[in-house]
Amino acid sequence: MARRAGCSYFGVRIARHVERDMVDLAARGYTGVTHTFSENDFAYYRDTMKEIVAASHRAGLWVQASPWGLGRTFGGEAESRFVAFHPDECQVLDDGRRVAAACLNSPAYRAFCAEWADWAIECGVDSLFWDEPAWVVPAHVGAEAERWSCRCRHCAERFGRELPRELDDEMRAFREASVVDFLREQLGRGGTHTICLLPATEGALGISDWSSVASLPGLTTFATDPYWKHWDEAAGPFVRRFARLLRETCARHGVAAQLWVPSFGLTEPEIPELEAAVAAAREEGIDDLWTWGYEACGSMSALATPDAPAVWEAVTTALTARAPLEARTARELVAQVNAHDATVADAVTAVADDLAAAIDAIAARVERGGRLVYVGAGTSGRLAELDAIECPATFGTSPNTVIAIGSGDCAAHEDDAERGGVDIATVAVGAADAVVAISASGSTPYTVAALSAARAAGALCVAVVCARESTLERIADHAVVADVGAELVSGSTRLKAGTAQKLILNAISTVTMIRLGRTYDGLMVSVVPDNAKLRERARRNVVLASGAPEAAVDEALAAAEGDARVALVTLLAGVDAAAARERLDQARGSVRQALS
């Protein structure tokens, strides 16, 4: 996994202000954000949270959703509405008092958490972040530190007999098993999940066997938050201890590791401890590091210190600072390029429905005699030209069926809007044609002008872009928006954006030709046999597709003058080469239609 630097964010519910802060986070080098999804948000800000997630994605951030203070069984300062509306589902202390925290064994509370999770996923988050799942901290509900829970009816039923009155080993094991079972039930609903355990393996709040959590089906990432001040420990050794436990546990169970450090509640003299904590985590091999929270929680007086601005700068530097590209080894750079490229396929997969709809519309135009016209400038133009050039040889199309117009030969032409309109007119684009405009930004003047001219001519207009809400997207009848995020070399759209465009153009031309019958049973039966290798491939494809003896195939190919489609129709339809060619002409080159 590539290094990720993340930050929590909470409190602001005006989407335009959140968007500004998300842009700020990304500009500082953060790659992820954890938004708090409280019960108040669940009740009153459902659609707003969806807007906030979208704003975070537009900034290029990976998004987690935290059940902030949910039921008082997760981390966070938010209050719980559930406990007010469901007092009978709350935990019971060992002294018999019922307290304002939901019981993890309550079926009603588990169902409520599942509803919360479904909503968070609907908002578009990349992962759910189950933050510090635990039985209630007595101090958080005004109880004495020695008290413990829970002895409610749900716990008694699950325990199967009378609950112990002391927090003995059997009761500790039951409490741990209840937490694990609660998490198992939540993860079993699907989605991507991170679980963040408190840095404890003993005591009333610890989970003694971290493997019991790390091995849960459906878990993607396992995390912990060794906030040394809370545990009255020295930062470096404490963080190193739990970073090592985290790494070893994750390695055993094949899940990713994530570690959190605090930036709230710290003063300037404590910055060296913060830096030591980050260094210890890095040295233990943890590459996914996060901090709670944005601007060192300076906006929340209960968590802030007068030094919050200095702490924020320090934690940001510690989490996001890396050696410049030029100072890294070739091996490191190759790994980074590969890691970036590995995300492209997912970005294209995310727009598969839009891409399929565009291809259906394109194929319909070409089937009726129209053309597929690519238009682009710079890298996009060169990619378009490459795809168009390959179609006649691969699919046996006329050189005029798939064409590319543009200015890949000169970067200055990208700004030539006038030329865009002229080029569309020069090739006489009309209502029968499908025009696919390619631009990473979606705002290249040449390409925008060309697609505008194509729309005016009545052509089907498709945009292939890598930026959301672009000009080309607004012009197009169909938009395929592959949001690949920031490039390794800033602004170099020949990298991830270029790879995404190549994948999309591959899909457009290949699937269109399959839809038009230019293949048969997955074979390149339309390939133009221009050399010995391709002549043998054409022969082998006819053998495979027809099942005829090789001698019969050779005879059919000779009569068809080497045209594999003609030979195949000859063999499968039992007609001579002239009749097979006539059938193919009537079927616009589709072998399957010619046979039917």
Q: Are residues 511 and 547 in the same domain?
A: no
pLDDT at 590: 82
Burial pattern 545-565, b for ≥16 Cβ within 10 A else e, equals bbebeeebbeebbebbebbbb
Q: Are residues 151 and 219 in the same domain?
A: yes
Domain boundary among 488, 515, 542: 515
Tell me how many domains the chain contains. Answer: 3
CA distances from 54 to 219, 469, 589 (A): 24, 12, 45
The CATH number of the domain holding residue 369 is: 3.40.50.10490
Cβ within 8 Å of residue 282, ≥6 positions away: 289
Q: Is 333 inside a domain boundary? A: no
Q: Is 409 inside a domain boundary? A: yes
Q: Are residues 49 and 159 in the same domain?
A: yes
Q: Are residues 387 and 456 in the same domain?
A: yes
Alpha carbons 212 and 459: distance in angstroms, whole number: 59
Q: Is 8 inside a domain boundary? A: yes
DSSP string of 78-139?
A: ---SHHHH-GGGEEEBTTS-EEEEE-TT-HHHHHHHHHHHHHHHHTT-SEEEEE---SPPGG
Q: Are residues 428 and 553 in the same domain?
A: no
Domain boundary among 515, 540, 575: 515
Q: Are residues 561 and 495 in the same domain?
A: no
Q: Are residues 298 and 357 in the same domain?
A: no
In the three-class reduction of DSSP (H, G, I as helix; E, B as strand; rest coil), residue 33 is classed as strand
pLDDT at 331: 63
Q: Are residues 268 and 354 in the same domain?
A: no
Q: Are residues 449 and 543 in the same domain?
A: no
Q: Is 335 inside a domain boundary? A: no
Domain boundary among 489, 515, 541: 515
As annotated, the active-site residues are 390, 414
Inter-residue contact 560 to 583 (CB < 8 Å): no
The CATH number of the domain holding residue 544 is: 1.10.8.1080
Inter-residue contact 429 to 373 (CB < 8 Å): yes
Alpha carbons 546 and 554: distance in angstroms, whole number: 12
Domain that holds residue 362: 344-515
Q: Is 173 inside a domain boundary? A: yes
Q: Are residues 166 and 311 in the same domain?
A: yes
pLDDT at 339: 65
Q: Are residues 68 and 201 in the same domain?
A: yes
Instruction: Show pLDDT as tens, one digit a residue, over the chain (596 residues).
Output: 557 899 999 999 999 899 989 888 887 889 999 999 999 999 999 999 999 999 999 888 999 999 999 999 999 999 999 999 999 999 999 999 999 999 999 999 999 999 999 999 999 999 999 999 999 999 889 999 999 999 999 999 999 998 999 999 999 999 999 999 999 999 988 889 999 999 999 888 889 999 999 999 999 999 999 999 999 999 999 999 999 999 999 999 999 999 999 999 999 999 999 999 999 999 999 999 999 999 999 999 999 999 999 999 999 999 987 667 777 677 667 766 776 787 788 889 999 999 999 999 999 999 999 999 999 999 999 999 999 999 988 888 889 999 999 865 555 578 888 899 999 999 999 999 999 999 999 999 999 999 999 999 999 999 999 998 999 999 999 999 999 887 878 778 888 989 999 999 999 999 999 998 888 888 877 777 777 887 888 888 888 888 888 888 888 888 888 888 888 888 888 888 888 888 888 888 888 888 88
The CATH number of the domain holding residue 121 is: 3.20.20.80
pLDDT at 59: 86
Q: Does pTM surpass 0.75?
A: no
Q: Is 468 inside a domain boundary? A: yes
Q: Is 448 inside a domain boundary? A: yes
Q: Is 53 inside a domain boundary? A: yes
pLDDT at 85: 96
Q: Are residues 545 and 444 in the same domain?
A: no
CA distances from 408 to 377, 405, 425 (A): 5, 9, 18
In the three-class reduction of DSSP (H, G, I as helix; E, B as strand; rest coil), residue 454 is classed as helix
Alpha carbons 134 and 175: distance in angstroms, whole number: 9
In the three-class reduction of DSSP (H, G, I as helix; E, B as strand; rest coil), residue 300 is classed as coil
